[in-house]
């Protein structure tokens, strides 16, 4: 005769066990957090409305530079009609070796620059 090993575990019970063991939040947990955040936002809105005008600090907006790293490298290459080597580009831009080589590879692949000779680039 074969002995039964015990009660079979349902799939739902297994999932619940793993969620508790690995501290995975349930839908109910996430909803509680969202309700708390909504309450805090409402309280902040009420406080901000009660503040006299002119006392609020505006956070400065960080402006991105208008030109990307590739644009800067391309501009340096365009200024040199006879071409410029990697060391010269690195001196003008201040970029690291790996970053500069990646940019040069990408610009060459896009046919914006051409290789005059090994390590020397000029505009296409």
The answer to whether residue 114 scores a pLDDT higher than 70 is yes
Check residue 58 and give its pLDDT: 65
Other CB atoms within a 10 A radius of the CB of residue 92 amount to 16
**What are the residues whose beta carbons fall under 8 Å from the beta carbon of 19, sequence distance 6 or more?**
26
Exposure on the CB side of residue 36, measured as CA atoms within 13 A? 6
pTM of the predicted protein model: 0.47
62 is written with which tokens?
């960080």
Mean pLDDT of 85-99: 92
Least confident of 10-19, 27-36, 47-56, 82-91: 47-56
* Residues across the chain: 124
Number of Cβ atoms within 10 Å of the Cβ of 123: 15
């Amino acid at each position: 005769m074969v002995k039964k090993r015990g009660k079979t575990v349902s799939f739902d019970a297994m999932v619940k066990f793993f969620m508790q063991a690995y501290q995975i939040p349930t839908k109910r947990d996430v909803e509680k957090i969202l309700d708390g955040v909504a309450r805090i936002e409402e309280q902040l809105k009420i406080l901000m409305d009660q503040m006299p005008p002119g006392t609020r600090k505006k956070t400065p907006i960080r402006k991105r530079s208008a030109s990307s790293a590739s644009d800067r490298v391309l501009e340096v290459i365009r200024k040199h009609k006879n071409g410029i080597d990697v060391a010269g580009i690195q001196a003008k831009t201040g970029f690291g070796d790996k970053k500069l080589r990646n940019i040069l590879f990408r610009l060459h692949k896009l046919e914006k620059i051409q290789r005059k000779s090994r390590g020397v680039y000029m505009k296409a």
